[in-house]
Structures are given as structure tokens and as C-alpha cells.
Amino acid sequence: MIPIGDDNSLRRGPAPVTWILIAINAAVFIFLQGFGSNENATLALAAFPSEIAAGRRLLTILTSQFTHAGFGHIIGNMLFLAIFGDNVECRIGRIKYLALYLISGTLGMLLQTFAAVMVGGAVAEVPMVGASAAISGVLAAYLVLFPGNRVTVLLFNFIPTALSAWIVIGFWFILQLSGMFAGITAGGTAYLAHIGGFISAWIWSRRYKTIEAERLRQERLERLRRGDSGGVRWWVIDD
């Protein structure tokens, strides 16, 4: 299932951070990686589990999140970010959204690093690149904050179909679990990084939603105390 759109009826205004992130990823791929052809630049930006565990080149935990292995890799990631990121950004705000993105990506990378070092050998030397861990966090936040949304996907890669966000993102998450059980670097994919980013953002988003609901309840009670409700002032008349 390839997502091509979603319900934006609840989106509140523009989402500049999402488009800035997409622009940065594209700029790194085009100008630094030479459209993916500059292997030396790609490896310089990539994160190696063995190096991270040894405390070397720690900045690559960040740079690797803006680096991609090829056209298919970056196009798929940016498609997911464009579809799901705008709603989340408009809901939680630009600063929280950027923090969610970067922290989810970092925690996902660290989980993959930990697992790779535990396995050891050649696995710990496999470089990690891609925004997938960060975007996994965006998917988790989207599912928590917009569980009733419908996402349009190309079913069987050619039939446009609107499905529940639970089905689309749930199916994606099952694929990550299946890949993880096949091996932490099965097919060259860091599935644990995706899962780590998703779970960390899920936990935070659940907490955020609870706080948001309480804030809205308090604001409603305050409006009622003032005699306001939904922009309408209610006049209380005593007979």
C-alpha cells in the first residue's frame, strides 16, 4: 500500500517545518551526495554502530537522519513525511514537532546501534542512513492524534482507496515487526530504528493528548464561568 494523501480537514494552517525538513533532505541528497552517486560523502554522513558505541563521530547520529541510500529511499521517506507530517505539526506546534522528529530519529538510531553492537561482528559495521526512524515517530503521533482520519493509498500499487489510518499505519508497523524478526538488518533495513522511533513518539503523543484534553476542558470551564460558549455569550436572566 502506497499512501498518496490523507484527510486534511483538521489541519490548522501551513506546516513550514515539514517542508523545510523535506528541503534539507533533498538538498543533502542532491548537493552533498550527488544524487546518491558520491559514496564517500554518504559514508561520511552515515552513522556506524561500532563508532557510536565507542563514542566516536557522535554527530553522525544527526547527519545520518538527513542522508539517503538512493532515489527510492528518499522519495518514499519524503512522501510519508509530506502526507503525515503537516497534520502533526499543525496540531502540536512547530517547536514540539521538530523536537519530536529529531528525538524520535535519534532514539531509533540508538536502539538500532545497541542491537547491532550486541550482535557484534559485521553487523556493527553496517552504516545507518535515512529519515525513517524520525518519520516513524511522525506516523506514531499521527495515529495517536488523528485516529479517525482516512488515508488514501494505492491498493496493489494502482487502485486509489481510502482506508482508516489504523489500517494503513498498523499494516506498516506489522511489516516493521516482521522485518525485525527476520534480522535487525534484514534486506539492508534498520527495522529496529523504525520501531524505536515509533514507540518513543507513541508514548510522548499519548501523554501530549492527555494534557491537551485537560487543557481544553479547563478552557471550556473557564468560558462557561465567564458566560461564553463557542464564541457565543450566554446571558443569565433571573426571573
Q: State the CB neighbour count (10 A cutoff) for residue 175.
A: 14
At 227 the pLDDT is: 72
pLDDT band at 202 (very low <50, low <70, confident <90, very high): very high
Domain boundaries, the chain: 2-223
Q: What's the average model confidence in pLDDT over 96-110?
A: 98
Non-local CB neighbours of 53 within 8 Å, separated by 6+ positions: 113, 117, 124
Tell me which of 1.20.1540.10, 3.30.110.30, 1.10.580.10, 1.10.3720.10 is the CATH number of domain 2-223. Answer: 1.20.1540.10
Q: Whole-model pTM?
A: 0.90
At 94 the pLDDT is: 96
Q: State the CB neighbour count (10 A cutoff) for residue 44.
A: 15
- What is the Cα 163 distance to its own chain's centre? 19
Q: How do residues 20-78 score in pLDDT, each as one tens digit?
A: 999 999 999 999 999 999 999 999 999 999 999 999 999 999 999 999 999 999 999 99
Non-local CB neighbours of 125 within 8 Å, separated by 6+ positions: 48, 49, 50
DSSP string, 136-184: HHHHHHHHHH-TT-EEEEEETTTEEEEEEHHHHHHHHHHHHHHHHHH-T
Which set of grid coordinates corresponds to residue 22? 523535506
